[in-house]
Amino acid sequence: MTNTANEEELHWQEVLSPEEYAVLRQGGTERPFTGEYVDTTAKGMYQCRACGADLFPSDTKFSSHCGWPSFYAPLAEDRVRYIRDTSMGMERIEVRCANCDSHMGHVFEGEGYDTPTDQRYCINSISLKLAEGQE
């Protein structure tokens, strides 16, 4: 890592809790059915917990019963970036915040959910914060 990269990671370690850092900056995953937003139905804008960027409006959240908050689309395609992920012996698409490059979760397609996009953005609660009333 370069000095700048080291300084950036030190900054994230200072502003994020150890649990947040493990998921947002190291690509970890919280345990299923443990996150604060799994069953939340409050209205608002889900933002990146690290940088505050608006990512997912609550009207795109749906109940997938998978253990993590699920959305069928981000606010706009330029709000997230996608990375091919083969780390678990299968091909998945990782979702990151386009603003700060923090790990959010993964997106899956073709699972048969009755949503406008047939996609499920499976996002860690710990990667998000809900700004209620800001849709």
Residues 54 and 37: their CA atoms lie apart, in Å, by 16
Catalytic, 122? Answer: yes
Helices then strands, each counted (H, E), the chain: 2, 9
The residue annotated as part of the active site, out of 51, 97, 100, 122, is 122
- 112 φ, ψ (degrees, to nearest 5): 90, 15
Q: H-type helices in the chain, by residue range?
A: 3-15, 18-24
* Cα 95 from Cα 84, distance rounded (Å): 9
**Do residues 31 and 113 lie in contact, with contact meaning Cβ atoms separated by under 8 Å?**
no
Q: Are 87 and 103 in contact (CB under 8 A)?
A: no
- Positions annotated as catalytic residues are 122
